[in-house]
Amino acid sequence: MKNLSLTAAAGLLYLLHQDFWLWRESRPLVLGFLPPGLFYHAVYTLAAALLMAALVRWAWPDHLE
């Protein structure tokens, strides 16, 4: 069940990477200086890093250690 959840999270993150809904948006600026697409990508990068940490912690094969 744990591996299925992690696989689903990776699939969802893959689908969310295609942020076609922010392609033409440049206003309003997030935090006063970031375009929405750049802010989305920064948050996406943090989510991808957290997912990778979870994958390494819970889905890494034991025989490789």
Distance CA 48, CA 33 (A): 23
Q: Write out pLDDT tens, residues 17-49.
A: 988 888 787 888 989 999 988 999 999 999 999
Rounded CA gap, 44 and 39, in Å?
A: 8
Structure tokens given for 43:
């948050």
In this prediction, residues 41-60 reach a mean pLDDT of 94
Closest CA to 22 of 11, 38, 7, 9: 38
pTM for the complete prediction?
0.81
Q: Where are the domains of the chain?
A: 2-64
CA-based nearest residue to 44, from 6, 5, 8, 18 = 18
